[in-house]
A = this chain, B = another copy of it.
Amino acid sequence: MSPRPAIDYADAAPEVRAVFDDIKRTRQVADVNNFWKYLAHDPPTLKRTWESIKEVMAPGALDALTKEMIYLAVSVTNGCGYCIASHSAAARKAGMTDKMFGELMAVVGMANETNRLANGYRVPIDPAFEQ
């Protein structure tokens, strides 16, 4: 656990409340996650991170579920405990079934394995991949 407390809505400065309000409105949730309550210790980072995530995670050429699964794949590769927990929940909310999660983990595991095989065997890039 962190030695610094989370900053709850009731104790937040107006600039922090404005971000919390936008998160709650955008995500249709009653309260924001701990991640935001800790970033609130640094309001410029809170604001910038939320605005970037809102832009990046909005459905576009990729749908919301695909984006959440990619987020989870990165978090699992990095071994970020908080991020794995929160984005597993977010991906499930976006429609990820148990079967999809199982296949996602299988791909993530396999990619981490072959990344090292390519490193260890010092495989040169095929000319076809440069064109």
B70 engages A111 (CB within 8 Å): yes
Scoring A3, A77, A98, A112 by chain B CB atoms within 10 A of each residue's CB, the highest score goes to: A112
Scoring A41, A42, A55, A100 by chain B CB atoms within 10 A of each residue's CB, the highest score goes to: A42
A125 engages B45 (CB within 8 Å): no
Q: State the CA gap A111–B75 with chains docked (Å).
A: 7
Beyond A60-B99, A73-B73, A129-B89, is A123–B49 a contact (Cβ under 8 Å)?
no
Query: How many identical subunits does the complex contain?
Result: 6
A117 engages B49 (CB within 8 Å): yes
Which residues of A approach B to under 8 Å, CB–CB? 1-4, 33-35, 38-39, 41-42, 44-45, 48-49, 52-53, 55-57, 60-62, 66-67, 69-89, 97-126, 128-131
Contact of A75 among B3, B81, B88, B115 (CB under 8 A): B115
Q: How far is the CB of A108 from chain B (nearest CB, A)?
A: 5
Q: State the CA gap A109–B115 with chains docked (Å).
A: 8
A120 engages B98 (CB within 8 Å): no
Q: Supply 10 further A-B pairs (C-beta < 8 A) apart from A73-B74, A105-B116.
A: A3-B88, A3-B122, A3-B129, A38-B122, A38-B123, A39-B117, A42-B106, A45-B109, A66-B69, A77-B78
